[in-house]
Structure 1
Amino acid sequence: MSQSLADAGTAAFPVAENVLIVEHVPHEGPYAIGVELEAAGLPVRACRTWAGDPVPASLGGAAALVVMGGPAAAYEDFPSRTAELALIRTALEAEVPVLGVCLGAQLLAEAAGGTARPASGPRIGWGEVRTAPAAHTDPLFADAPGRLPVLHWHGDTMDLPAGATLLASCDRYPVQAFRIGGSAWGLQFHLEVDNAAVDAFAAAFPDEAAIAPDLDASAPGNLAALAPHRDAVFARFAALVAGRAARSGTRTFFTPMAATWEERFAGDTPRYAAAVARMGLRSGQRVLDVGCGSGRALPALRAEVGDEGVVLGVDLTPAMLTATAAVEGRAGLARLLMADACRLPLAAGAVDGIFSAGLINHVPDPTAALCEWARATAPGGVLLLFHPSGRAERAARHGRPLDPADPLAEENLRPALYAAGWALDCYEDATRHFLARAVRVR
């Protein structure tokens, strides 16, 4: 994120606060999913394709994406299919949480490289699914029983993409629940249903409902058995979404821009190199570029510590790390880590220096970030905060006055650094650059 943040303004990026839910038909709403999202303080933003709502071209800062079911086939070209697949792929790339139900699960499988297809015939009504061994350690299904009573209402199935984790199955439909990566889940069955949902399904599809004549009569008992597991799974999903909201906001902001960011700001490379030279690094030392973005500072950092030294690049957005590795000559300059800048996966005193371009204005808690960077830095190590333009220039470019609460204002930065264990020994707020150098003293 280094040079990305350096040119993105001075206000912190917004935390993603809503969940985008794509609905294909009126009766297949979120039901229990929506209840748990609301309980977690996550407002819902509905895209009702059945009412003519266009599928957004981007996640728009959404904290999660939920794609519900419907009568369309995921392998056929219904009107919103292409846009939905693109949106799901965007969420997968940004590692924003995704939940797909029935048709939504099939679209998730297709978006990730799997294949949706017709099955041997429809399955309608109540029935058990068997949870797979992987469910026992899954973030959502860890407490689900070995046999879970659910509502089936589908005639299609899917072949999972390579690397997907199977979570539940049944005899006729071996893929009933799965996970892709660490933040996307597909449910072929309808775990979200309550009494209102069962009534709505039956009213909307009377011919299909006739396949299961005991659908209504057995609903109370089946729902009573289902409810505690249903609520636990969706409460865990809501908690996961809420816990990742800040991370998701950053990723949805940067992911669409990652592929072109390097070429947009190539002219800043000499200023990054000049700033790195001010750190005073020595051959063989260990240095971290925190929020490295597409790796603008990595060549200069490698030159300073030499082949014997260690260069680490940390960024929260997977697409930015991919962009770093794609730039010619940068793939082998550093060890790239995907991590939160305020929760570094490093031991205390692991590095001798930290370079940070533009990041301190955008972390949720600048004081906490300075403390975390001090923890990871050995005594005597150096921190360099850099920006390729000065505070006044940036404020003018964004049409606002200097903010007295700006964490980079010297009267704010110096005491914050001291409290975190740093001593500020250089502060330059010039027209064409900002630079603050501090030494780890305690």
Structure 2
Amino acid sequence: MRAVGVLVVQHARGEGPYAIGEALAAAGLPVRLCRVWAGDPLPESLAGVEALVVMGGPAAAYRDDGFPTRRAELALLRRALAAEVPVLGVCLGAQLLAVAAGGAARTGSGPQVGWGDVRTSPAAARDPLLAGTPERLRVLHWHGDTMTLPDGAVPLASCERYPVQAFRVGGAAWGLQFHLEADKAAVDAFVAAFPAEAATAPGLREAAPEELAAPAPYRDLVFGRFAALVAARAGHTATRTFFTPKADSWETRFAADGPRYAQAVARLGLRPGQTALDLGCGTGRALPALRAQVGDKGAVLGVDVTSAMLLAAAREGRGGPAGLLLADCCQLPLPPGTVDGIFTAGLLDHLPDPAAALREWARVTVPGGALLLFHPSGRVERAARHGRPLSPDDPLGEPNLRPLLAGGGWRLECYEDATPYFLARAVRVG
């Protein structure tokens, strides 16, 4: 899955990312600029996109007139929210984010243009981006529309005339009505593009150097944190953008795999009363079989990093046999030595650091506990299906897997790479 970096949607020639782009570049994140004003096509999916930034512009978030990409942008924002892709919306972009999340945008009481204060909310003090910003923050306003926030959104800043100035939706999507990203070049571009609006704020350009200096440290703080969050979540973002749109049909596409999962789970050899993990559980096909092994007095936990997959598992009734946990399979929120057996299907060879994952899995497993690596097709068949040769560097190849397991605290006991399935069973040593 090839990363394309941060997708920045730009609606007007002069309304670029400015300080946002600088922060992303400083974090080593490539930016893919989509200039919809110049006819650049919006991507239909977020495959390979590490974050979505939607900038401002003169269009209205509440109507299609003069805004031919509005519906496509809303669809892209909804996909980003569903897959927990980091999002930053500025001005028009914030209004679109509110609409995509279930709120509404509407015309305001007239243009609010020029320098002015916003008041940060108590929630801002705990916000991943705005924590540490002052209670009163001097910013550049340039808008005439406003929005109603969706249920669950967290208000982060306001002012008397336009109460919604900053907000967060979920854990990774932010909207800023004001232009914290603006620098001197941005002010010049705004004034040139919208002279009538600029005329309502006399001295706006002349005051820019002094006005921009005051919020500069907080601007760098906020956008630096956003860039750091994007970089830190990149691996999970790629996984979620791949699996989220497939979650609803996953069970139907692979319905025939259920019996093979049950047969594989039987090879794990758990006893009643023990504790089992299914890592990267997806829709939870293995969970009922794991529950049958450990019985009513045992414990079963399905772990996945994609919310949509866990929701699909719950719809299939698999939240009954097991607890479902949204978590990183390489950083498990479990104490050492609490698990008797781990089942995982098609996960290890897709992780960025399989050696670190095996060490983490060993950490939470009791000595003598079992690890079962499974896939309902063999390595040769999978490679052929994807139109590629079998790589000698494949971590699931026995010459690679055996030392990889040993380095992580496991001893390989059984290795079977047949056409209809792949299975490797290891035991926790020490």
What's the counterpart of residue 91 of structure 2?
102
What's the counterpart of residue 46 of structure 1?
33
Q: How many residues align?
A: 428
User: How far apart, CA to CA, are the structure 2 residues paired with 1:331 and 1:385?
Assistant: 22
What's the counterpart of residue 337 of structure 2?
349
Q: 2:54 aligns with which of 36, 49, 67?
A: 67
What SS does the aligned partner of 2:205 have? Answer: coil
Q: 1:33 aligns with which of 8, 20, 31?
A: 20
User: How far apart, CA to CA, are the structure 2 residues paired with 1:359 and 1:266?
Assistant: 19
1:17 Cα deviation (Å)?
Answer: 5.1
Contact 1:384 1:438 in 2 (8 A): yes
What's the counterpart of residue 19 of structure 1?
6
Contact 1:88 1:108 in 2 (8 A): yes
1:376 aligns with 2:368: no
1:162 Cα deviation (Å)?
Answer: 1.1
What SS does the aligned partner of 2:349 have? Answer: coil
TM-score, scaled relative to structure 2? 0.98
What SS does the aligned partner of 2:283 have? Answer: coil
What's the counterpart of residue 252 of structure 2?
263
Instruction: Quote the sequence identity (%).
Output: 72
What's the counterpart of residue 330 of structure 1?
318
1:387 aligns with 2:368: no
State the Cα RMSD in Å.
1.1
User: How far apart, CA to CA, are the structure 2 residues paired with 1:200 and 1:399?
Assistant: 49
1:113 aligns with 2:107: no
User: How far apart, CA to CA, are the structure 2 residues paired with 1:28 and 1:186?
Assistant: 16
1:398 Cα deviation (Å)?
Answer: 2.5
User: How far apart, CA to CA, are the structure 2 residues paired with 1:76 and 1:315?
Assistant: 38
What's the counterpart of residue 42 of structure 2?
55
Contact 1:288 1:353 in 2 (8 A): yes
1:414-439 CA distance string (max 9 Å, x none): 11212211111111111211111111
What's the counterpart of residue 288 of structure 1?
277
What SS does the aligned partner of 2:348 have? Answer: coil
What's the counterpart of residue 408 of structure 1?
396
What SS does the aligned partner of 1:244 have? Answer: helix
Matches within 5 A, 1:230-309: 230-309=219-298
Contact 1:130 1:148 in 2 (8 A): yes
Contact 1:379 1:441 in 2 (8 A): yes
1:229 Cα deviation (Å)?
Answer: 1.1
Q: Which runs of no fewer than 5 residues in structure 2 stay unpaired?
A: none
Contact 1:289 1:354 in 2 (8 A): yes
Contact 2:377 2:418 in 1 (8 A): yes
What's the counterpart of residue 146 of structure 2?
157
Q: Which runs of no fewer than 5 residues in structure 1 stay unpaired?
A: 1-12
User: How far apart, CA to CA, are the structure 2 residues paired with 1:63 and 1:41?
Assistant: 12
User: How far apart, CA to CA, are the structure 2 residues paired with 1:398 and 1:218?
Assistant: 59
Matches within 5 A, 1:133-282: 133-282=122-271
Residue 401 of structure 1 aligns with an amino acid whose one-letter code is P
1:197-226 CA distance string (max 9 Å, x none): 000000100000000002012111001112
Greater mean deviation of Cα atoms: 337-346 or 51-60? 51-60
Residue 157 of structure 1 aligns with an amino acid whose one-letter code is T
Contact 2:265 2:289 in 1 (8 A): yes
Contact 2:4 2:32 in 1 (8 A): no
1:15-65 CA distance string (max 9 Å, x none): x45000111111111011001111111111111111112222111210000
User: How far apart, CA to CA, are the structure 2 residues paired with 1:173 and 1:58?
Assistant: 33
What SS does the aligned partner of 2:59 have? Answer: coil
What SS does the aligned partner of 1:63 have? Answer: strand
User: How far apart, CA to CA, are the structure 1 residues paired with 2:34 and 2:386?
Assistant: 32
What SS does the aligned partner of 2:155 have? Answer: strand
1:335-360 CA distance string (max 9 Å, x none): 11111111111111121110011111
What's the counterpart of residue 10 of structure 1?
none
Matches within 5 A, 1:305-324: 305-324=294-313
TM-score, scaled relative to structure 1? 0.95
User: How far apart, CA to CA, are the structure 2 residues paired with 1:139 and 1:280?
Assistant: 44
Contact 1:17 1:62 in 2 (8 A): yes
User: How far apart, CA to CA, are the structure 1 residues paired with 2:404 and 2:41?
Assistant: 47
Contact 1:22 1:49 in 2 (8 A): yes
What SS does the aligned partner of 2:277 have? Answer: strand
User: How far apart, CA to CA, are the structure 2 residues paired with 1:436 and 1:167?
Assistant: 50
Contact 1:377 1:440 in 2 (8 A): yes
Residue 374 of structure 1 aligns with an amino acid whose one-letter code is A
What's the counterpart of residue 421 of structure 2?
433
Residue 220 of structure 2 aligns with an amino acid whose one-letter code is D
User: How far apart, CA to CA, are the structure 2 residues paired with 1:306 and 1:114?
Assistant: 45
Residue 154 of structure 2 aligns with an amino acid whose one-letter code is T
1:140-165 CA distance string (max 9 Å, x none): 11121111110000111111111111
User: How far apart, CA to CA, are the structure 2 residues paired with 1:71 and 1:394?
Assistant: 50
What's the counterpart of residue 340 of structure 1?
328
What SS does the aligned partner of 2:152 have? Answer: coil
